[in-house]
Amino acid sequence: MNIAIIGLGKMGGNMARRLARGGAKVFGFDLSAETRAKLAADEPNFQGFDSVAKLVASLPKPRVVWLMLPAGEISENTFAELKTLLAQGDLVVDGANAMYKDSQRHAAELAESGLKFVDAGVSGGVWGLANGYTIMLGGEKDAIAQVERFVKLLAPAPDRGWIHCGPAGSGHYTKMVHNGIEYGMMQAFAEGFALLKAKEDFNLDIAEISEVWRHGSVIRSWLLDLIAGTLAEDTDLAGLAAFVPDSGEGRWTVLESIELGVPTPVITQALFSRFSSRGNDDFAMKLLSMMRNAFGGHAVAKQ
């Protein structure tokens, strides 16, 4: 029961641990020697390699190589390298967040070399090591069969929390939609707590309210659990900047909604709020300020 994990960051590293603790023999690659050493020290079933080529050479056939790399150049280069290293019957899983159309392309490209492909959307964040990960798989049936035993270790339980969604790309598509929903839910909570905070004359204890909502309310959820956990320690968030990055998933969801012609006002506004938090609407706002001055003589704020 051997598996390779390429990329041992926050997600990949914990997945390697969960697999190793579940009994799989894990062959891991990461650029960081420190990361490899730490995993090897902690997990008897883990063995680190300082190159993908060495890892592949050691991994018994038929090989399962699970990628946990950021979408883009690094990921593309590794796909290219694996095509030269792997042999017929081997299988590549892309378990990172990737645009589903790229996964469809990867499936086709690998198939040309007789290699199998599975795209795996993985949810669970830093809590997945303890709780297990939700896993959404796309690919051919025989490919899914080849990775199933590993997926059962990663999932919260062997018989639940994972699914074969459909053909290649459908796993990442489903994960993309999951994250789109997540964007909307997060923004809904953020707006609600902002309204509680802004009603100053009520002097509401938002930490206590978040805790109470966890019990019996319609909006109880894991996100609310996390909110309650952190607000319990800090209700002012005074040290944080109002600056929110976005990863690709939210953008891909909106692009897809445009392509399908399905309106997603909430998911899209959640994304746009993040754009604005980073000052990306500054020029538009300056223009508004200028227009107000031009037609109404309204004073403009200067920088």
Catalytic option among 76, 140, 148, 182: 182
Query: Does 167 contact a copy of itself by CB under 8 A?
Result: yes
Residue 169 is a binding residue for a copy of itself (CB under 8 A): yes
Q: What Å distances lie between residue 58 and 31, 32, 61, 82, CA to CA?
A: 18, 19, 9, 14
What whole-number distance in Å separates Cα of residue 63 and Cα of residue 146? 10
Q: Could you tell me the smallest distance in angstroms from the CB atom of residue 104 to a copy of itself?
A: 10
Our finding on whether 111 is near a copy of itself (CB under 8 A) is no
By CB under 8 A, tell whether 105 contacts a copy of itself.
no
Kindly tell me the burial class for residue 160, based on how many C-beta atoms sit within 10 Å of its own C-beta (0-12, 13-18, 19 or more).
Answer: exposed
Q: Catalytic site residue 109?
A: no
Smallest gap, in angstroms, from Cβ of residue 225 to a copy of itself? Answer: 9
Q: Which of residues 182-201 bind a copy of itself (CB under 8 A)?
A: 182-199
Interface with a copy of itself (CB under 8 A), residue total 133
CA dihedral sign of residues 154, 95, 114, 99: positive
Does 166 bind a copy of itself (CB under 8 A)? Our answer is yes
Sign of CA dihedral 256, 262, 267, 268: positive
Residue 59, token pair as written in the block:
């991994």
Query: x/- string (CB under 8 A) for a copy of itself, residues 262-301?
Result: xxxxxxxxxxxxxxxxxxxxxxxxxxxxxxxxxxxxx-xx
In terms of DSSP bridges, do strands 2-6 and 134-139 run parallel, antiparallel, or are they unpaired?
A: unpaired
- Using the minimum distance from each CB to a copy of itself, give the nearer residue, 60 or 233: 233
* Residue whose entry in the numeric block shows the structure tokens 């609600």: 192
At residue 263, the 3 state secondary structure works out as coil
Q: 49 or 66, CB closer to a copy of itself?
A: 66
Touching a copy of itself, residues 209-238 (CB under 8 A): 209, 211-213, 215-224, 226-227, 229-230, 237-238
Question: What Rg, from alpha-carbon coordinates, does the chain have?
Answer: 23
Site for a copy of itself in 38-97 (CB under 8 A): none
Binding mask 237-266 for a copy of itself (x = CB under 8 A): xxxxxxxxxx----x-xxxxxxxxxxxxxx
Whether residue 182 lies in the annotated active site: yes
What is the x/- site pattern for a copy of itself, positions 130-159, by CB under 8 A?
Answer: -xxxx-x------------------xxx--
Q: Would you state the torsion angle of the CA atoms of residues 197, 190, 133, 83, taken in this order, to the nearest 10 degrees?
A: -140
Cα 90 to Cα 78: distance, rounded to the nearest angstrom:
15
Measured from the CB of residue 79, what is the shortest distance to a copy of itself in angstroms?
Answer: 22
- Active site amino acids: 175, 182
